A and B are shown apart, each in its own frame.
Chain A
Amino acid sequence: MAVVGVGQTRCRLRREDVSFPGLVREAVTAALDDAGIRLADVDAVVFGSSPEYFEGVNHPEKWASGAFGGYLKPHMRIHTGGTVGASTGIAAFYHVASGMYDLVLAVAGDKLSEGSVQAGLSTVYDPILGRPFACGAPSAVALQCRIYMERSGCTSLHGARVAVKNRLHALNNPYAQLRLPDITVEQVLSSPVIASPLRLLDCCPASDGACAMVLACGDRARRLCPRPAWVRGASAVAEGVHYARREWDRPLALHEAARRAYAQAGVSDPRRQVDVAEVYDAFSYQEMIWYEGLGLAEEGRGWRLIEDGVTTLGGELPVNPSGGVLSTNTIGATAMMRQAEAALQVMGRAQARQVDGARLAVAHGWGGAIQFHTVMVLSSEAP
């Protein structure tokens, strides 16, 4: 099974030129063109979007199915919060891996500008015990980052360096939203506090955008694409929402998702074997926590990769050469964009953001109360 085509919209803070179905359609058209196929060739469609309160359309697949190609085809919607884009890609992978379908379209998107994202996000908190404490995503993630800093020795300087690294990477990605060519560590450290230790420039923007991928079985992939991105491992793992057994700086769900995906892919030493990673860096410090969960750094030492420049484009193991979530966050499509960017890397088609010689890539997503994690391993080599 392989990714044979990807399509992304250019992401903006607000796309007033297009409705939600039209936005999703843009990504579908781009992915079909990229794969060199027509909608009629697609056997099944998997659609993903984030919680309905974000854009105020309940059951959006009802509204958009005609535009994304769901008409009279096997079709389902996936919904796992911030992870949804990756869960959608993985569900499409399962469709192909089951042997039931040869060519499957995965598409996900959101128009976050239509509502108030942080107010909408607050409605996902448990209504009985959580709602009064909800301040969108930053307040929960701030606690996670505090725990990580106090246990690992990571400082605000490391967070700021992640924030700068990914914004400079984004300048190489025509689909990224934020353009901050002059950003500095000092700027990040003097930007307003949102929820300490998180400052404005430690946080992702909100975006309107969509992403689509075409996945194919082995035979079709070889015929359609000279260098497909082979999906060698994929896993989506959940843990609970309450915290009795949770360690925010060592998310068990991430460790388990990584363990499963690497085992499928035959990856035993990710730090040495992985050439490039796209991780869900919604907030700067999280990127270093994910390094550790993905086995790219030792426990408590994720910040060392930042200090040593390992994960900068041109470094030994570039992370988020696309600019990552810190530069573009549609929520619905974000985790699929990690997979699509990882696919482009191993296909050798990532243009100015290409990591030289990238053969093995890992894509990560998180969602819910930092409780859902997805890991996909993509390779230039067929199994």
Chain B
Amino acid sequence: MGGEPVGPAVLEGEIHLAYRWTTGPATGAFLTALRDRGVILGLRCPSCRRVLCPPLEVCPRCGTETAGEVECGPGGRVTAWTLVEAPTPWTPWEAPYALISVRLDGASTDLVHAVTEGARRVRTGARVKAVFRTVGRRVGDILDLEGFAVE
């Protein structure tokens, strides 16, 4: 009794849940090719003939199922970039790091990824080249493609 009046309590909590996400045939093949062969795959839309990279099961523009794997890159050209100074707690790179939108050679769409070498030299139109995780350390996720080196 006595002392300062206490306001309504604020309750703190967290939610921890585990998941297993099915990658599906298109993205699954993309991740498998990265892990096992160090190759970046695109998929062609039979309607508009564009090569989607990263590949999707359905071409969003045409609504058509994609078919026909195409190897893209490892080189490409930067179509947009940003230097990130304020990362989130789960960002795998130390700030500042560069995120780029990259049109890989042979692809018709852009892939968003990070620059791991030469971030300070990144510009729209700059040539970049894919850097892969060392063989033996690849796990089948998107970071088996570690990032891009600015040429």
Contact = CB atoms under 8 A, between A and B. Distances in A.
Interface of A: 15-22, 25, 39-40, 53, 55-57, 65-67, 69, 71, 111, 113-116, 119-120, 123, 127-128, 131
Interface residues of B, number: 22
Given A39-B63, A67-B58, A71-B60, A56 B24 contact: no
Nearest to B28: A19
Q: Is the interface of B mostly helix, strand, loop or mixed?
A: loop
A234 B20 CA distance: 37
Contact of B13 (A15, A57, A131): A131
A19 B13 contact: no
Contacts of A120: 17
Contact of A116 (B18, B27, B56): B18
Q: Give me the 5 closest cross-chain CB pairs, A-B, nearest first.
A: A19-B24, A66-B60, A56-B19, A39-B63, A67-B58
6 contacts: A18-B22, A18-B25, A19-B24, A19-B25, A67-B58, A114-B21
A53 B63 CA distance: 28
A25 B60 CA distance: 11
Contacts of B26: 19, 22
Nearest to A208: B22
Contact of A21 (B13, B17, B24): B24
B11 interface: yes
B23 interface: yes
A15 B28 CA distance: 14
B17 A25 contact: no
A116 B19 CA distance: 7
Contacts of B27: 19
Given A25-B58, A66-B60, A128-B11, A18 B24 contact: yes
Name which of B19, B20, B58 has the most chain A CB atoms within 10 A of its CB: B58
B15 interface: yes
B56 A15 contact: no
Interface in B1-52: 11, 13, 15, 17-28
Contacts of A55: 19, 21
Interface in B49-68: 56-61, 63
A15 B20 CA distance: 12
Nearest to A15: B22
A114 B61 contact: no
B22 A19 contact: yes
A192 B61 CA distance: 50
Given A115-B19, A116-B17, A116-B18, A71 B25 contact: no
Contacts of A67: 56-58, 60
Contact of A115 (B17, B56, B60, B63): B17
Contact of A65 (B15, B17, B60): B60
Given A56-B19, A120-B17, A123-B17, 6 more contacts: A19-B21, A20-B21, A53-B17, A66-B58, A115-B17, A127-B11
Contacts of B59: 66
Contacts of A115: 17-20
Nearest to A73: B63
Contact of B15 (A22, A53, A113): A53
Nearest to A120: B17
Contacts of A22: 24-26, 57-58
A40 B63 contact: yes
A20 B56 CA distance: 12
Contacts of B22: 15-16, 18-20, 111, 114
